Chain A
Amino acid sequence: MQIKSQEELEQKFQERIDRGEIIEPKDWMPERYRKQLIRMMSQHAHSEVVGMLPEGNWITRAPSLRRKAVLLAKVQDEAGHGLYIYSGTETLGISRDEVMADFLTGKAKYSSIFNYPTLTWADIGAIGWLVDGAAIVNQTALAKGSYGPYARAMVRICKEENFHHKQGYEILATLMNGSQEQKDMAQDAMNRFWWPSLMMFGPSDNNSPNSAELIRWKVKKYSNDELRQRFIDRTVPQAENIGLVVPDKDLKWDEETRHYSHGEINWEEFYNVINGRGICNKERMKARREAHNNGSWVREAASAYARKKAAKTIAA
């Protein structure tokens, strides 16, 4: 077989991407494509896993059995989403243990949104509606990305996110239909979660170091700002529909662009949270490490049982 040079291989790879072909695990890919995907996918998976913590905070205090059953199912879904993406990440040749080690040592990042606390029941509504709403916009775009296993995991996840999104909206709609105190609680959650939800799409396009490369490789199909705009355009009318006020005095409908224009995002806050100085960063990592360590006896017992059974089968 003819040995191709690195440049030739990379050019052939880019041509495949440009033709809209999907890359599968055993295909040749540039080392940097592999690295970038491992980084993105593992961050995404970690976010799903950490995302269970702020919501788990309210399982025992959900206001009804119905809400409790729903929240339990949602949190279980988040664990499942984490596992779909970890499974996809491993197809790139990194082991689950390595991925988990990077997470638990704090080397790998996760979405900044989960470093905000869930102070009231209304926050569970805001997370479902805003945070999962933002995730849907993001993930629907990722579902058309160039790496097969990642795109397939996104398709699976998107199907399930709609339940998350709607149950959150239902929580807030119910509160907005209640007493003044309940309305205030819903508006307070809106005030605290609106801006962090916009930050979920990442830095502005003129300040996003990885974007150009990821778009060239069709790992991302749209820029951060485009996706953020899409989220704002769909969410503002939903807020108005139940009487919630978007906490942005500069927000207005632009008849010319047919989009909402919005105020400046506080990027200093964004970078603070990303770099570990958010309200709950320490608490989240501590909870995650404890869960991992406290679960070690279960993993050891299951391994011991499997070894014992295997030995019996051989002896028999």
Chain B
Amino acid sequence: MSTSEWPLWEVFTQKRAGLPFEHAGSVHAPDKELAMQNARDVYSRRGEATCLWVVPAEDIVSSTPEDVGSFFEPSNDKIYRHPNFYKTPGASFE
């Protein structure tokens, strides 16, 4: 059996213009053209995408679950970044 597995590509789909891209899954392909075709065949058989991204999986940099504490800490202790931190007596902000 062949051991030269094709590289893994992560696939992102955008349902229509104006919406964010969303991770759909992954495909194996020897190059970016085939990665794009495989992604279309696997993840958009029913109009799930009007635009596709394929990204070599090894090029994705991800944080790790151990980061959850310290890495994201700075955003947790700045509650003044949220609008409900402020007192606005009587005024309507609707």
Which A residues are closer than 8 A to B by beta carbons? 1, 24, 26-28, 73, 76-77, 80, 83-84, 87-88, 90, 95-97, 100-101, 104, 152-153, 156, 160, 296, 299, 302-303, 305-306, 309-310
Contacts and interface: CB of A to CB of B under 8 A. Distances in A.
Counting chain B residues whose Cβ lies within 8 A of the other chain, the interface size class is: 20 to 34
Nearest to A307: B30
Contact of A87 (B5, B27, B65, B66): B27
Contacts of B45: 73, 76-77, 80, 160
A96 B25 CA distance: 14
Nearest to B7: A306
Contact of B5 (A77, A97, A104, A302): A97
B1 A306 contact: no
Contacts of B42: 80, 83-84
A98 to B, nearest CB: 9
Contact of A28 (B6, B26, B65): B65
Contacts of B81: none
Given A80-B41, A83-B42, A88 B25 contact: yes
Contacts, number: 58
A36 to B, nearest CB: 20
Contact of A84 (B8, B25, B66): B25
Contacts of B2: 97, 296, 299
Nearest to A95: B5
Contacts of A303: 4, 6, 30
B25 A153 contact: yes
Contact of B64 (A26, A76, A96, A153): A26
Interface string B1-26: 11111101000000000000000111
A1 to B, nearest CB: 7
A96 B5 contact: yes
A26 B30 contact: no
